[in-house]
Structures are given as C-alpha cells and as structure tokens.
C-alpha cells in the first residue's frame, strides 16, 4: 500500500514536471492537491508523511470522520465538494483553509453571516461550470463576474481564484476548451479591477487531464485516483448529488 502510493506520487510529480517543461512554466508554480474522498486516514497519512501538504474532501461528513486522526499532522485542508447551506456550521469546525466550491450568492451570504459571528475569515475560489453540463455544479461562466463582484463585498470571504471540474472526456481538445474558459475568465476578472480580491489561483486538472490544465494555466491540480487508486463510488455521487 505504502509503496504504491509513494510510487504514484513520484509519477504524478514527474507528469507535472513534464507538463511544466512543455509549457515553459516553473514546477514551483503548480501545487498538487490530493483529492481524498473515500480514502482512509491510513493512506492519507502516508502521503502527508512523505512531503504532501495539501488535501481536500468533497463531503463535510468525511471531513468530520477524518479530522481527529489527521489534525496533528501538518497540512492544509481545502473543500472541493458541493456545499449545502445547512452544513456551513459544521464545515467551520474542521480547520478548512479554503472552500474551492463557492458557486452561488446564497451560500456566500450564509457563510459570511456565520464567519462574522465567529470573527474569522475564509479563503474561497469561485467554482465555474465550464463544461455547460446540467449535472455539474458551478456558476455559469457568463454570470461569474457578477458573482465575484457580489462576493467581494463580504468582508469575511477572501476570493483567491477560480475552480472548475471541466468536461470528463477522452477528447483532449474539448477538455482544453473548458480550461481556456476558466483562464479567460480569470483575465477578464483581473481586468475588472474588483477591490478586495486576488485572482492568483486557477484550480483545474485531475488525474486524467492535469497536463492539459497545466498547459492552460492551472496553479493547483487536484488528483485522486492517480495517487490512491480507483474509488468504489462513481463521481456522479459527488458531483451532482441533490442537484436542483
């Protein structure tokens, strides 16, 4: 188990390095985030004890279950799943540094209210639906700037960038088109000069398409299966749960 994970991590770092060389980018500019949904704490610990520092969960319940076992190992925790407003109180208990999946004003508003009462702040990325699929979460690209503007008014929420899942396809050019939408949006938002935000992070690319994402400007790639192996649940279980 340990050998497999360490071997897989070596492979991923090599893939990141290759993609950086191909696109004239610096390896240091890309952060590897480990998507740990369904992964046991034993396996997560192996990664954290061997140089990895950034992990993310999709469900508050899983965050909660693993929290005690991981809290004494230095690492940074992000949230990348669909966040229901009734889970806000809970998510704030587990030392999440950044919510990458902020995709609607109602969620921002409720998060802000709760953060205010706790006198703290939260880093957020705006999640964008670049694949135009009903089944995926994320704000419509055409409405993203408006959402960024509105969220920027909440003093407790620090917008740091954008996140997308993109199309799940073997056709690289279709996947690339999604990443290009996110990059273009980042540039458009920077051009708008919106106060109190930064747009430095682009979280895009997963096990199957991280090279394309890096070529298109990703600063964070989110990798699960390529490090920890296949999951028993289909991704739809995480990506369109209770989609209204």
Ligand X SMILES: *Cc1c(COP(=O)(O)O)cnc(C)c1O
Rule CB under 6 A: which residues touch ligand X? 35, 37, 58, 80, 165, 206-208, 222-226, 238
Q: How far is the CB of 207 from ligand X (least distance, A)?
A: 3
Q: How far is the CB of 30 from ligand X (least distance, A)?
A: 15
Pick between residue 157 and residue 220 the one whose CB is nearest to ligand X: 220
Fill in the DSSP letter of residue 29: G
How many of the other CB atoms lie within 10 Å of CB of 31?
Answer: 16
Nearest CA to 198 among 164, 159, 162? 159
Pick between residue 66 and residue 154 the one whose CB is nearest to ligand X: 66
What whole-number distance in Å separates Cα of residue 241 and Cα of residue 225? Answer: 20
Nearest CA to 91 among 60, 70, 120, 65? 60
Q: How far is the CB of 72 from ligand X (least distance, A)?
A: 25
Pick between residue 58 and residue 130 the one whose CB is nearest to ligand X: 58
Pick between residue 33 and residue 152 the one whose CB is nearest to ligand X: 33
Q: How far is the CB of 155 from ligand X (least distance, A)?
A: 27
Pick between residue 139 and residue 152 the one whose CB is nearest to ligand X: 139
Give the residue closest to ligand X by C-beta: 224
Q: How far is the CB of 198 from ligand X (least distance, A)?
A: 21
What whole-number distance in Å separates Cα of residue 21 and Cα of residue 7? Answer: 21
Provide the CA 202 distance to its chain's centre, in angstroms. Answer: 9
Pick between residue 141 and residue 224 the one whose CB is nearest to ligand X: 224
What pairing do the DSSP bridges indicate for beta strands 54-57 and 76-79?
Answer: parallel
Helix (H, G, I), strand (E, B) or coil at 124: strand
Q: How far is the CB of 196 from ligand X (least distance, A)?
A: 26
Report phi then psi at 222, rounded to 5.
Answer: -110, 115
What whole-number distance in Å separates Cα of residue 70 and Cα of residue 89? Answer: 20
How many of the other CB atoms lie within 10 Å of CB of 29?
Answer: 11
């Amino acid at each position: 188990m340990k050998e497999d994970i360490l071997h897989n991590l070596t492979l991923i770092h090599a893939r990141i390095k290759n993609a950086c060389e191909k696109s004239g980018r610096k390896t240091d500019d890309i952060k590897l985030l480990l998507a740990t949904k369904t992964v046991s704490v034993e396996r997560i610990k192996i990664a954290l004890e061997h140089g990895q520092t950034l992990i993310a969960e999709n469900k508050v319940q899983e965050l909660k279950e693993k929290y005690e076992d991981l809290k004494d190992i230095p690492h940074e925790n992000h949230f990348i799943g669909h966040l229901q407003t009734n889970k806000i109180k809970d998510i704030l208990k587990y030392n999440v540094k950044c919510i990458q999946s902020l995709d609607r004003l109602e969620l921002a508003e409720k998060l802000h209210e709760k953060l205010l009462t706790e006198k703290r702040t939260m880093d957020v990325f705006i999640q964008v639906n670049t694949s135009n699929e009903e089944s995926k979460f994320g704000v419509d690209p055409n409405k993203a700037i408006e959402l960024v503007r509105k969220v920027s008014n909440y003093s407790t929420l620090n917008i740091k960038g954008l996140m997308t899942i993109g199309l799940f396809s073997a056709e690289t050019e279709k996947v690339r088109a999604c990443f290009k939408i996110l990059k273009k949006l980042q540039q458009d938002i920077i051009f708008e000069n919106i106060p109190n935000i930064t747009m430095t992070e682009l979280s895009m690319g997963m096990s199957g398409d991280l090279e394309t994402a890096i070529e298109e400007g990703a600063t964070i790639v989110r990798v699960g299966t390529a490090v920890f192996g296949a999951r028993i649940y289909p991704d739809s279980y995480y990506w369109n749960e209770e989609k209204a």
